[in-house]
């Protein structure tokens, strides 16, 4: 039989460990929610908004850009939800009663938006990978499958299906009001009766884990491997096909970043079976870090487009910094004139080649041919 002193020592150690985990969670929530979230959300919202504007231009119309524009819209929704989370955490730090009320009423809906947008982004990324796989490995089928109409239909189907399948997440938590002796009410979040059903909770969680993490991750790894192998067969570094596959290389970077950012969350949700608000403070603290990685993924695509897609970058500069673009175009025009000994082009219908698959149109925007 254990002595009373021994039991008291164990309880003391457990209480001390619980206090340390709570402090870790609060610190992680402050660093991510108050410090990192506003910076990443503002940059991400601005970048995705600019991406949508650039890709909506007539010269940028393509099936790939339809998927990327849909992905930017999904990312914007998630970034807005995460920015609201920052506002709530800030209120908890500045005005705890108001922050507690906002947290209690917004969290159940934010949980649904979070999971729905993740599923949508995951399957839109898979759609991009499938299209690039067809471009690289089955070029004879491009005209049949890689059309703008098909891309719009797939994107719309992904938005509708994933939003419907994530509806049970909107019914996972409910807000309860705890009455106390003070003048202000204390709001808390608890799991609903539906999610208290262990059979439903396990089955639906595994279904969502497969849809959100396991299947997309496996498909992306397989497709990415096939795409890279296909590019190597083309000997990308030794022929002119390197320019044709520059967009493919950019999309490989997008997919790799997605894989890196979503894998920790997939491990937390699938292999460790950890939830969210109902978990202990240690798990909730780690979840804050994995959610930050998901936020980085939603905000990073614009930077990738600017670095690896020269057509996107030049159209972006032309739309938002025309003087800089005109200087660059005049320089390229003089270089091409000098090298090819071509006469002065018609000013009204300027259309010259500046590289394989790039054309300068009359309005100065670049398009792919």
- Report if residue 315 sits inside a domain: no
Pick the range with the lowest mean pLDDT from 6-20, 229-243, 316-330. Answer: 229-243
Q: Do 257 and 328 fall within a single domain?
A: no
Q: What is the pLDDT of residues 153-171, one digit of tens each?
A: 999 999 999 999 999 999 9
Indicate the pLDDT class of residue 18, thresholds 50, 70 and 90.
Answer: confident
* 83-100 per-position pLDDT tens digit: 998 898 888 888 888 888
pLDDT above 60 for 345: no
Based on the domain organization, do 191 and 331 belong to the same domain? Answer: no
Tens digits of residue pLDDT in 283-315: 888 888 888 999 999 999 999 998 888 888 888
Q: Where is 368: in which H helix or E strand?
A: none
91 and 162 both lie in a single domain: yes
Shared domain check, 277 and 169: yes
Find the length of the chain: 369
Residue 2 falls inside a structural domain: no
176 plus 223 within the same structural domain: yes
Question: Same domain for 234 and 329?
Answer: no
| Angle at CA of residue 244, ends 155 and 58, nearest 5° | 50
Boundaries of domain holding 340: 321-367
| pTM, 2 dp | 0.79
Note whether residue 4 is domain-resident. no
Let me know if residue 165 belongs to a domain.
yes
- Claim to verify: residue 245 and residue 345 sit in the same structural domain: no
- Same domain, residue pair 132 and 92: yes
Q: Closest Cα to residue 121, out of 46, 67, 61, 84?
A: 67
pLDDT of residue 266: 81
CA dist., res. 251 & res. 7, Å (int): 58
Concatenate the DSSP letters of all residues of 177-244 into one string: EE--SSSS-EEEEEE-HHHH-HHHHHHHHHHHHIIIIIHHHHHHHHHHHHHHHHHHHTTGGGSTHHHH
208 and 259 share one domain: yes
Once rounded to an integer, what is the mean pLDDT over residues 14-40? 86
Least confident of 117-121, 241-245, 293-297: 241-245
Q: What is the CATH number of the domain that holds 135?
A: 1.20.1070.10
Return d(Cα 80, Cα 49) in angstroms, integer. Answer: 12
- Looking at the 3D structure of the chain, how many domains does it have? 2
Token pair of 253 as six digits: 């970077």
Contact (CB, 8 A) for 180 and 186: yes
340 and 290 in a common domain: no
* % the chain with pLDDT above 90: 30
In DSSP terms, 176 is beta-bridged to 188
């Amino acid at each position: 039989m254990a002595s009373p002193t021994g039991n008291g020592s164990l309880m003391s150690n457990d209480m001390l460990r619980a206090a340390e985990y709570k402090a870790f969670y609060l610190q992680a929530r402050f660093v991510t929610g108050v410090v990192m979230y506003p910076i990443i959300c503002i940059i991400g919202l601005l970048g995705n908004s600019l991406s949508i504007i650039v890709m909506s231009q007539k010269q940028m119309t393509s099936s790939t850009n339809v998927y990327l524009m849909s992905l930017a819209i999904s990312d914007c929704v998630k970034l807005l939800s995460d920015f609201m989370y920052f506002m709530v955490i800030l209120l908890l730090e500045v005005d705890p009663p108001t922050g507690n009320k906002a947290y209690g009423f917004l969290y159940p809906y934010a949980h649904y938006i979070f999971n729905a947008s993740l599923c949508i982004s995951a399957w839109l990324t898979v759609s991009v990978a499938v299209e690039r796989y067809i471009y690289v490995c089955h070029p004879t089928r491009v005209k049949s499958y890689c059309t703008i109409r098909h891309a719009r239909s797939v994107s719309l189907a992904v938005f509708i299906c994933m939003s419907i399948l994530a509806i049970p997440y909107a019914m996972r938590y409910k807000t309860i009001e705890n009455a106390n002796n003070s003048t202000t009410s204390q709001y808390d979040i608890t799991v609903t009766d539906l999610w208290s059903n262990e059979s439903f909770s396990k089955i639906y969680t595994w279904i969502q884990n497969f849809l959100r993490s396991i299947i997309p991750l496996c498909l992306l790894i397989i497709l990415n491997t096939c795409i890279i192998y296909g590019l190597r067969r083309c000997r990308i570094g030794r022929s002119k096909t390197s320019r044709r596959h520059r967009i493919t290389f950019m999309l490989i970077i997008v997919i790799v970043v997605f894989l890196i950012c979503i894998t920790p969350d997939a491990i937390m949700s699938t292999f460790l079976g950890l939830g969210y608000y109902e978990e202990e403070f240690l798990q909730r603290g780690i979840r804050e870090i994995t959610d930050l990685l998901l936020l980085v993924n939603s905000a990073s695509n614009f930077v990738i487009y600017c670095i690896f897609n020269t057509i996107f970058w030049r159209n972006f500069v032309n739309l938002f910094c025309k003087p800089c673009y005109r200087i660059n175009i005049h320089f390229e025009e003089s270089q091409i004139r000098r090298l090819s000994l071509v006469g002065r082009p018609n000013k009204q219908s300027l259309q010259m080649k500046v590289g394989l698959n790039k054309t300068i149109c009359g309005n100065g925007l670049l398009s792919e041919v």
